[in-house]
């Protein structure tokens, strides 16, 4: 059964939104809820075929009485030219842009020491620069004169993002960009906020990492709670159920989140209910960022010694008590 929005029907009638990465996962849930509330949605991502298929699927669910429509426009957000073309095609077709949802992004799992400069740049170009391109273009082409609301989907990176340092750095930068733009664009009536879900389905690609220790291979799995979706689970094939299940103990909610729980937060921030909220990042993580990390640090003795003195003597006595006999 399709999820049903808690917001009132028609809340976003005749509004127009761009949702990057709107054809899959969280972006698809956001697009579907906006459509259900009467908003016309332009979904965008690099993969034209998948995007068109998602648009077709969503189109079928729009009731004939709704003013909403869904359009697929392929765009690589890393390219400023492509973003300009996207925004201009939306304005040509719909004549306005009320909302931008920056959800498109990607990353891969790797220890920082093994990241190539090319890999690092690809992630930062997409997740940070791509978001900047989209914000800047909707602002200059429409929102500067007419106002609007922007929401960027970031991630739970408050304690760093071991295993995906590039995306942690880029998402933290988008958190800061959100604050800068909230001030710079306030005089245009633009509100800009971010939503930080518990690690998203894209981040589950962080899956299984193999570290070689002195004697054997140590298999370390890190997931810090995830957004669960049927598609995401299927993507991980036989690992899917296990990977999702093992993140449950690390969430205070003791269950996974579904994309619709992120989508409702985004709709809230876009709606008049958030008319006095700007420059904020709303965590949708059931308190996971306050809880425990799944990142394991192996036992080691590489840490610098504490300064000599009676405290160190007492400490050594505690950890490695020598016989007094």
List contacts with ligand ADE (CB under 6 A). Answer: 20-21, 45-46, 75-78, 104-106, 126, 130
Output the residue with the shortest Cβ distance to ligand ADE: 104
Task: Specify the residue, 170 or 265, whose C-beta has the smaller distance to ligand ADE.
Answer: 170
Name the minimum Å distance from CB 83 to ligand ADE.
9
Task: Specify the residue, 206 or 278, whose C-beta has the smaller distance to ligand ADE.
Answer: 206
Per DSSP, the residues of 11-57 read TTTT-EEEEETTTSHHHHHHHHHHHHTT-EEEEE-S-HHHHHHHHHH
Whole-angstrom distance, CA of residue 196 vs CA of residue 157: 8
DSSP 167: H
Name the minimum Å distance from CB 229 to ligand ADE.
16
Name the minimum Å distance from CB 24 to ligand ADE.
9
Task: Specify the residue, 45 or 206, whose C-beta has the smaller distance to ligand ADE.
Answer: 45
Task: Specify the residue, 20 or 167, whose C-beta has the smaller distance to ligand ADE.
Answer: 20
Name the minimum Å distance from CB 72 to ligand ADE.
12
HSE-CB of 140 using CA atoms within 13 angstroms = 10
Task: Specify the residue, 28 or 78, whose C-beta has the smaller distance to ligand ADE.
Answer: 78
Q: What is the dihedral of CA 316, 321, 322, 324, to 10 degrees?
A: 120
- Radius of gyration of the chain, Cα coordinates, nearest whole angstrom: 22
- CB burial of 215-226 (b: ≥16 within 10 Å; e: otherwise) equals eeeeeeebbbbb
Question: Do 18 and 27 contact (CB within 8 A), yes or no?
Answer: no
Name the minimum Å distance from CB 314 to ligand ADE.
54
Question: Do 44 and 100 contact (CB within 8 A), yes or no?
Answer: no
Name the minimum Å distance from CB 18 to ligand ADE.
11
The two structure tokens encoding residue 299:
């036992």
Task: Specify the residue, 126 or 178, whose C-beta has the smaller distance to ligand ADE.
Answer: 126
């Amino acid at each position: 059964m399709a999820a049903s929005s808690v917001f009132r029907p028609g809340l976003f009638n005749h509004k127009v939104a761009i949702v990057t990465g709107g054809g899959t996962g969280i972006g698809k849930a956001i697009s579907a809820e906006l459509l259900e509330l009467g908003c016309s949605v332009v979904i965008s991502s690099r993969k034209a075929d998948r995007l068109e298929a998602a648009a077709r699927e969503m189109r079928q669910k729009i009731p004939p009485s709704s003013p909403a429509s869904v359009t697929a426009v392929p765009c690589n957000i890393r390219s400023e030219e492509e973003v300009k073309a996207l925004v201009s095609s939306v304005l040509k077709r719909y004549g306005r842009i009320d909302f931008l949802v920056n959800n498109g992004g990607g990353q891969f799992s790797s220890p920082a020491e093994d990241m190539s400069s090319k890999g690092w740049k690809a992630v930062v170009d997409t997740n940070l620069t791509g978001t900047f391109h989209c914000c800047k273009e909707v602002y200059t082409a429409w929102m500067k004169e007419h106002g609007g609301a922007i929401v960027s989907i970031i991630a739970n990176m408050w304690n760093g993002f071991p295993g995906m340092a590039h995306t942690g750095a880029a998402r933290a930068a988008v958190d800061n960009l959100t604050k800068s733009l909230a001030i710079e664009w306030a005089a245009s009536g633009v509100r800009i906020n971010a939503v930080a879900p518990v690690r998203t389905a894209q981040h589950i690609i962080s899956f299984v990492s193999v570290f070689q220790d002195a004697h054997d291979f140590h298999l370390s799995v890190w997931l810090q709670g995830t957004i669960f979706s049927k598609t995401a689970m299927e993507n991980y094939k036989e690992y899917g159920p296990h990977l999702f299940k093992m993140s449950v103990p690390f969430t205070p909610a003791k269950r996974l989140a579904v994309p619709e729980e992120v989508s409702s937060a985004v709709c809230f921030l876009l709606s008049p209910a958030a008319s006095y909220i700007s420059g904020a990042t709303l965590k949708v993580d059931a308190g996971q960022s306050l809880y425990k990390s799944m990142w394991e640090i192996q036992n080691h003795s590489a840490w610098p010694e504490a300064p000599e003195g009676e405290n160190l003597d007492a400490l050594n006595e505690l950890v490695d008590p020598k016989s007094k006999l």
